[in-house]
Amino acid sequence: MSIITSVRRCYHCGKVLQDKDPKKEGYINPTALISSRSNDLILCQECHEALHQNEVPAAADVSDEFLSMLKDAKKEGATIVYLVDLISFECSFNKEVLDLIVDLPVVIIASKWDLMPKDISVERTKEYVAHRFRAEGFKKAKGTDVILLDYNNSADATLASGMIKKKRNGKSVYVIGAKGAGKSAFLTSFLRQFKNTSNRGISIGAYKNTSLEVWQIPLDDTSYIYDTPGTGVKNSFLGKTTYPKDILVTTRITPRKQVVVLNGSLFIGGLARIDPISLSSEKKKTTFTCYFAPKVGLKSVSPKNDMTALFQKYIKNKALKPCVDWFKCQNDSDVFDFQLEEDGPRDIGIAGLGWVSFDGVKGDIYRLYVPKNIGAYASRAKIIKEKGTKK
């Protein structure tokens, strides 16, 4: 006689579950296995990750080594130069980073000003950047802490250098920000005006006790300015190993208008989709001003019975470009509803891709589909047009 028991398997892929080796098939965390009842339908870790949809937009990642470097900065009372890329920075914040720098003097540099549309207000843009920092919990950010930087304009770099000098009080300076934000480009402009008055040279190498590669530029005999490696952009299109180069904004962005009716959809390439699903205005439509790279195809679609099938057809036929091979169907997406909490100009944006701006009405709901693990946000509008105010 033998005792026969059924072997527990993954409900999705059917592999036999095991809790010993995460590198082997059918792995499941031991606590998840123990806490499940014998008749529960359970998934192996691989299927769980593949099928799981995020309940809140994916957040930016940061390494422990980076945090340990910031702990040194905190201990020293160093000044932080926080670089953000004006085109897409809203999803790049990390709470652990902000918590570590909250008591330090901070200069905020918003790069790629030259890529923003013409005729927008300098002061409003600075206030918007500060507002985004405050919204992330960095409460003390003010518009006057922000410098808008076009890396071709030496006056911008001079302004930034002056502000750093004023704030740093003889202490070191850490230039931080997401990968590709423009830290090294800023440091290059900074170096053009830099005179080394110390008896030490500029060096590139690992930051103490870490594998982080930093540029170390002596500001005097006891302090440095560090160009640090960018924080993670796993939650951005730009953090994916394969993303289409056509999404990159490399020339001044030109806004495009698209009118979308209630329950219709704005298809953004084969990459994302935004549907107004509840509108209180009598017009029952929204005019989106769209800020994306020029080769990102946009299409306003009127309501159809099966919008999911239609979007999938567009993706499959590559009817709108660009597309990516890791976003093939609705199951590959995270879906979020943004219900507006106030009236006025609002934005909905997608990490690394761009944003749409529209006149918001309190209570209206917009549904956003993005590839799984790509960050998204809703905010007050980044750009409010004012004539003749470009600096």
Under the criterion CB under 6 A, does residue 102 sit at the interface with ligand GTP? no
Q: Of the candidates 10, 92, 5, 96, which has an alpha carbon nearest to the alpha carbon of residue 48?
A: 10
CB atoms within 10 A of CB 319: 15
Out of 50, 185, 262, 335, point to the residue binding ligand GTP (CB under 6 A): 185
Close Cβ partners of 362 (under 8 Å, ≥ 6 residues apart): 340, 341, 342, 343
Q: What does the radius of gyration of the chain's CA atoms come to, in whole angstroms?
A: 24
Could you tell which of Mg ion, ligand GTP, none binds residue 185, using a CB distance below 5 to 8 A set by kind?
ligand GTP
Long-range contacts of 309-313 (CB under 8 A, 24+ apart): 311/265, 311/267, 311/273, 311/369
Closer residue to Mg ion, CB minimum distance, 183 or 382: 183
Under the criterion CB under 6 A, does residue 232 sit at the interface with ligand GTP? no
Closer residue to Mg ion, CB minimum distance, 184 or 330: 184
Out of 79, 88, 111, 172, point to the residue binding ligand GTP (CB under 6 A): 111
Under the criterion CB under 6 A, does residue 352 sit at the interface with ligand GTP? no
Close Cβ partners of 196 (under 8 Å, ≥ 6 residues apart): 202, 217, 218
CB of 213 to Mg ion, least distance (A): 9
Out of 179, 234, 256, 385, point to the residue binding ligand GTP (CB under 6 A): 179
Could you tell which of ligand GTP, Mg ion, none binds residue 218, using a CB distance below 5 to 8 A set by kind?
none
Position of minimal CB gap to Mg ion: 184
Closer residue to ligand GTP, CB minimum distance, 114 or 359: 114
Residue 167, H or E segment: helix 154-168
Under the criterion CB under 6 A, does residue 248 sit at the interface with ligand GTP? no
Are the C-beta atoms of residues 297 and 245 closer than 8 Å to each other?
Answer: no
CB of 146 to ligand GTP, least distance (A): 14
Under the criterion CB under 6 A, does residue 181 sit at the interface with ligand GTP? yes
Q: Of the candidates 215, 82, 232, 97, which has an alpha carbon nearest to the alpha carbon of residue 146?
A: 82
Sole residue written with tokens 């080594």: 65
Out of 180, 244, 264, 276, point to the residue binding ligand GTP (CB under 6 A): 180
Which stretch, 45-53, 100-108, 146-154, 277-285, contacts ligand GTP (CB under 6 A)? 146-154
Are the C-beta atoms of residues 290 and 255 closer than 8 Å to each other?
Answer: yes
CB of 359 to ligand GTP, least distance (A): 30
Are the C-beta atoms of residues 301 and 264 closer than 8 Å to each other?
Answer: yes
Under the criterion CB under 6 A, does residue 239 sit at the interface with ligand GTP? no
Out of 135, 151, 301, 379, point to the residue binding ligand GTP (CB under 6 A): 151
Could you tell which of ligand GTP, Mg ion, none binds residue 112, using a CB distance below 5 to 8 A set by kind?
ligand GTP
Closer residue to Mg ion, CB minimum distance, 215 or 291: 215
Under the criterion CB under 6 A, does residue 194 sit at the interface with ligand GTP? no
Under the criterion CB under 6 A, does residue 68 sit at the interface with ligand GTP? no
How many CA atoms within 13 Å lie on the side-chain side of 30?
3
Q: How many residues bind ligand GTP (CB under 6 A)?
A: 18
Q: Three-state secondary structure along 23-92? A: CCCCECCHHHHHHCCCCCCCCCHHHHHHHCCCCCCCCCCCCHHHHHHHHHHHHHCCEEEEEEECCCCCCC
CB of 242 to Mg ion, least distance (A): 22
Closer residue to ligand GTP, CB minimum distance, 42 or 181: 181
Out of 33, 115, 159, 298, point to the residue binding ligand GTP (CB under 6 A): 115
The SS3 assignment for 131 reads helix
Could you tell which of ligand GTP, Mg ion, none binds residue 111, using a CB distance below 5 to 8 A set by kind?
ligand GTP
Closer residue to ligand GTP, CB minimum distance, 108 or 307: 108
- Chain positions contacting Mg ion, by CB under 5 A: 183-184
Name residues contacting ligand GTP, limited to 357-386 (CB under 6 A): none
Alpha-carbon dihedral angle through residues 110, 78, 162, 107, given to the nearest 10 degrees: 20
CA distances from 21 to 50, 82, 172, 181 (A): 19, 41, 45, 38
Q: Of the candidates 140, 170, 135, which has an alpha carbon nearest to the alpha carbon of residue 341?
A: 135
Tell the burial category of 237 from Cβ atoms under 10 Å away from its Cβ (0-12, 13-18, 19+).
buried
Binding site residues, ligand GTP, CB under 6 A: 83, 111-112, 114-115, 149-151, 177, 179-185, 229-230
